[in-house]
Amino acid sequence: MKRFTRLAITISLCAASMTVFAQQYPSKPVKLVIPFPPAGATDVLGRALGQKLSESLGQAVVIENRPGAGSTIGAEQVASAPADGYTLLLASGSICISANLYKKLPFDPAKSFAPVSLVGHVPHMLVANPTVPANSVKELIALAKSKPGEMNVASQGNGTLSHMELELFKLAAGVELTHVPYKGSSNAMTDLLAGNVSMLFDSVTSSLPLVRKGQLKALGVVSPKRLTFAPDIPTITEAGVPGFDAANWFALLAPAGTPKEIVQVLNTHVARALESAELRQRLAAQGAVLESSTPVALAILIRDDLDRWAKVVKQAGIKLE
């Protein structure tokens, strides 16, 4: 009986000390790891968020870029960091793709992290060279079915989101398209503008200005609903491929085991930061749609994305070493 009493006291003391710790958090600078190079969409979003979080938390948020291996290097760093709330990851949906493409990853997106909050989306869109004789998704599907395998579609590289969106589109629309992988968005875009490839799934940040100049044509956006800053472009779902969903999301994650009290503190401050009109206006220019969530909702999103890409990888027979 005394043993159980001592155990109960120990648990109570631990809970009390953790509550005090959470109340004192943060008492030093917080590191935000961005697993992509500087100046990209993720970096711009992370630095803007970091600035607002710093103001809200009352502590510096230090940005550290750790690019490489499709974001897995930065993700591994955070997964193995102390679970004290002082090392965070600005993750993207690419970690769910990597988990299904590579046999040996040093982390599990669903188990190695404590979800904090969704941060937002930077939607992709399907754009085509103006010479392609199709002005809608339905016309594109009909064209592709009339010449199976003859249309070349670029991607930003094997295993990237633009590649997976292409594979999902092929499966959902029932068409044969030839995948042409490039090393990065700029190379793919150069060949698309030159007419060497027909289409590309790319972020609205880089594609929309070219659409507005008439250098590309937009066939549909990869988003649950039309974008407020481009309401004339239909979603791919309403344009002819029901259920097409491949959101390019970004979220804040902490190492697994981070105390729930600290996760809640961070969640509250992220939601507060995303309410900033100045932040929303600044990131809208980058094509970002800001949106916070509960930790539970983010955990569900991660599991759903893992399942979605697992099915696509299996059905498309994608294999990467």
Cα(107)–Cα(96) distance, integer angstroms: 11
- For residues 156 and 168, membership in a common domain is answered with yes
Q: 90: which strand partners? A: 252
Which of 222, 239, 261 marks a domain boundary? Answer: 222
CB-CB contact of 136 with 219 (8 Å): yes
**Lookup: tokens for 234:** 């239909």
CB-CB contact of 92 with 42 (8 Å): yes
∠ CA 299-300-304, nearest 5°, is 120
Mean pLDDT of the 210-223 span = 96
Q: What is the pLDDT of residue 180?
A: 97
- For residues 136 and 108, membership in a common domain is answered with no
- For residues 205 and 255, membership in a common domain is answered with no
Task: Quote the number of domains for the chain.
Answer: 2
Q: 154: which strand partners? A: 180, 200
Q: What are phi and psi of 110, to 5 degrees?
A: -90, -20
**Distance (Å) of CA 237 to CA 70, 148, 245:** 28, 22, 8
- For residues 68 and 92, membership in a common domain is answered with yes
- For residues 165 and 218, membership in a common domain is answered with yes
Structural domain of 285: 28-121+248-316
Mean pLDDT of the residues in the chain = 90
Q: Count CB neighbours of 99 within 10 A.
A: 21
pLDDT in tens, 122-158: 899 999 999 999 999 999 999 999 999 999 999 988 8
Is 13 inside a domain boundary?
no
Give the pLDDT band (50/70/90) at residue 291: very high
Q: What is the CATH number of the domain that holds 177?
A: 3.40.190.10
For residue 12, the surrounding DSSP H or E stretch is helix 2-24
Q: Count CB neighbours of 244 within 10 A.
A: 23
- For residues 117 and 163, membership in a common domain is answered with no
Is 109 inside a domain boundary?
yes
- Per DSSP (E only), the strands in 170-257 are 178-181, 199-203, 217-222, 249-255
Is 243 inside a domain boundary?
no
- For residues 129 and 217, membership in a common domain is answered with yes
- For residues 172 and 140, membership in a common domain is answered with yes
- For residues 212 and 290, membership in a common domain is answered with no
Q: What's 232's DSSP letter?
A: T
Q: Count CB neighbours of 179 within 10 A.
A: 17
Is 241 inside a domain boundary?
no
Residue recorded with tokens 């030093």: 28
Identify the residue with better confidence: 243 or 75: 75
Q: What's 147's DSSP letter?
A: S
Which of 207, 222, 237 marks a domain boundary? Answer: 222
Give the pLDDT band (50/70/90) at residue 5: low
For residue 163, the surrounding DSSP H or E stretch is helix 161-173
Cα(319)–Cα(95) distance, integer angstroms: 16
Give the pLDDT band (50/70/90) at residue 207: very high
**Distance (Å) of CA 108 to CA 92, 114, 120, 276:** 14, 11, 22, 33
Is 240 inside a domain boundary?
no
Judging by beta carbons within 10 Å of its beta carbon (0-12, 13-18, 19+), is residue 162 exposed, middle or buried?
A: buried
- For residues 137 and 195, membership in a common domain is answered with yes
- For residues 92 and 139, membership in a common domain is answered with no
Percent of the chain exceeding pLDDT 70 equals: 93
Is 114 inside a domain boundary?
yes
Give the pLDDT band (50/70/90) at residue 13: very low
Amino acid symbol at 302: I
Q: What are phi and psi of 136, to 5 degrees?
A: -155, 165
Is 67 inside a domain boundary?
yes
CB-CB contact of 257 with 263 (8 Å): no
**Lookup: tokens for 52:** 């607002």
Q: What is the CATH number of the domain that holds 91?
A: 3.40.190.150
- For residues 282 and 306, membership in a common domain is answered with yes
Which of 222, 239, 272 marks a domain boundary? Answer: 222
Its pTM stands at 0.85
Is 271 inside a domain boundary?
yes
